[in-house]
């Protein structure tokens, strides 16, 4: 079990939970939640520095061993996303980028077509691109064709907590691509994360599901365990579903007057 690792862009990870750093009440809470999550990849955003005052950097909240995954969140054009990615690389000294090109404000749905174009540019530019996209088989194919290192289909709208709204399409995507599939967005509670992993996803990325819980640090721990549990359940191979009950043991040997008439213990 100790060697159930996964890789993206030449990096290898033991944890299959990626976490964001937005929406926390404080840097301290961010730090505690990341630590509790056990995440080895942590997303950050890029924004203009406030020119007038200094405040603690989000980087202070991230354990030293973690891999930074800068995003292009908020970008709505190919150009903005590419420029943002390049600035992030300059800042983070790493070629990893979570590519987001948003196409709709209310749902924060990606503009898949623009995302494919931006991905192509960034891959050409040497980036390891992890694109946020809808769970659309054709978009996912295109993203792979242009050289993305993983695909990150959304499970539900960003920050909605609605869970895996369409598990079937996630399964179709898993059967179709060779790169890691990371469910990104929509996970609201631990069982959602477990479901994603049981489908066979390589990892799960979340932020609001942890940060907007009443107790984020405890939820981070829950998510860590849920991702691990779901992964192990996937590897262990779940029992087949059956329409009827099935008793467990030989159906003899119960107490009773004549020939044993009761089955042995049916199991729960």
Partner 1 sequence: MPALEIIVNGAPRTVAPGATVADLLADLGIARGRVAVERNGAVLPRAEHGRCALVAGDRLEVVAFAGGG
Catalytic residue IDs:
98
Which x/- pattern, by CB under 8 A, does the window 127-156 give for a copy of itself? -----x-x-xxxx-xx-------------x
Among 32, 123, 144, 165, binds a copy of itself (CB under 8 A): 165
Is residue 69 within the footprint of a copy of itself (CB under 8 A)?
no
Strands 11-13 and 6-8: antiparallel
Dist. CA 245–CA 248, nearest whole Å: 10
Residue 7 tokens read as 């890789």
**Which residues pair with residue 129 across a beta bridge?**
97
Cα–Cα dist 140/173, whole Å: 7
Task: Please report, as residue ranges, which positions from 151 to 170 form the binding site for partner 1 (by CB under 8 A).
Answer: 158
249 binds partner 1 (CB under 8 A): yes
Of the listed pieces 8-16, 123-131, 143-151, 235-243, which binds a copy of itself according to CB under 8 A? 235-243
User: How far is Cα 57 from Cα 80, in angstroms, rounded to an integer?
Assistant: 23
- Interface residue with partner 1 among 32, 35, 59, 218 (CB under 8 A) is 59
**Among the listed residues 2, 12, 47, 90, the single contact to a copy of itself using CB under 8 A:** 47
Nearer to partner 1, 178 or 257 (CB): 257
Residue closer to partner 1, measured from CB, 210 or 226: 210
Distance CA 8, CA 87 (A): 21
Cα separation, 211 vs 154, in Å, equals 18
Helix (H) or strand (E) holding 180: none
Residue 92 as a binder of a copy of itself (CB under 8 A): the answer is: no
The reply to whether 266 sits near a copy of itself by the rule CB under 8 A is yes
The DSSP-derived string for 194-221 is: HHHHHTT-SEEEESHHHHTSSSHHHHHH
What is the DSSP code (8-state) at residue 63? -
Kindly state the smallest distance separating residue 91's Cβ from a copy of itself, in Å. Answer: 12
The answer to whether 103 contacts a copy of itself (rule: CB under 8 A) is: yes
> CA-based diameter of the chain, in Å?
90
**205: contact with partner 1 by CB under 8 A:** yes
Looking at residues 81 to 100 of the shown chain, list those that interact with partner 1 (rule: CB under 8 A): 83, 86-92
Find out whether 130 and 97 touch, Cβ atoms under 8 Å: yes
Binding segment (CB under 8 A) for partner 1, from list 110-118, 168-176, 200-208, 221-229: 200-208
Pairing relationship of beta strands 182-184 and 6-8 according to DSSP bridges = unpaired
Minimal distance in Å, beta carbon 220 to a copy of itself? Answer: 8
Between CA 50 and CA 154 the distance in angstroms is 31
**Contact set with partner 1 (CB under 8 A):** 19-24, 30, 43-49, 51, 54, 57-59, 61, 68, 70-71, 73, 83, 86-92, 158, 205-208, 211, 248-249, 253, 255-260, 264-268
């Amino acid at each position: 079990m100790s060697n159930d690792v996964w890789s993206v862009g030449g990096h290898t990870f033991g944890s299959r939970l990626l976490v964001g750093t937005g929406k926390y009440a404080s840097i301290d809470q961010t730090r505690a939640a990341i630590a509790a999550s056990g995440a080895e990849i942590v997303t950050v955003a890029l924004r203009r520095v406030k020119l007038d005052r200094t405040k603690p950097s989000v980087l202070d909240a991230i354990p030293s061993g973690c891999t930074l995954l800068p995003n292009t969140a908020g970008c709505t054009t190919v150009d903005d996303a590419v420029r943002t990615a390049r600035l992030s690389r300059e800042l983070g000294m790493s070629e990893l980028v979570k590519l987001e090109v948003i196409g709709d404000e209310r749902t924060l749905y990606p503009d898949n077509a623009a995302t494919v174009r931006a991905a192509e540019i960034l891959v050409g530019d040497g980036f390891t691109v992890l694109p946020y996209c809808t769970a659309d088989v054709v978009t996912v194919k295109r993203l792979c064709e242009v050289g993305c290192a993983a695909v990150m289909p959304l499970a539900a709208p960003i920050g909605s907590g609605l869970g895996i709204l369409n598990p079937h399409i996630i399964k179709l995507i898993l059967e179709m691509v060779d790169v890691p599939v990371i469910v990104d967005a929509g996970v609201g509670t631990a069982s959602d994360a477990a479901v994603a992993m049981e489908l066979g996803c390589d990892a799960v990325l979340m932020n609001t599901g942890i940060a907007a819980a009443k107790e984020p640090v405890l939820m981070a721990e829950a998510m860590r365990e849920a991702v691990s549990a779901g992964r192990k359940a996937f590897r262990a191979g779940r029992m087949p579903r059956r329409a009827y009950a099935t008793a467990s043991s030989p159906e003899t040997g119960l107490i009773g007057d004549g020939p044993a008439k009761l089955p042995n213990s049916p199991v729960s």
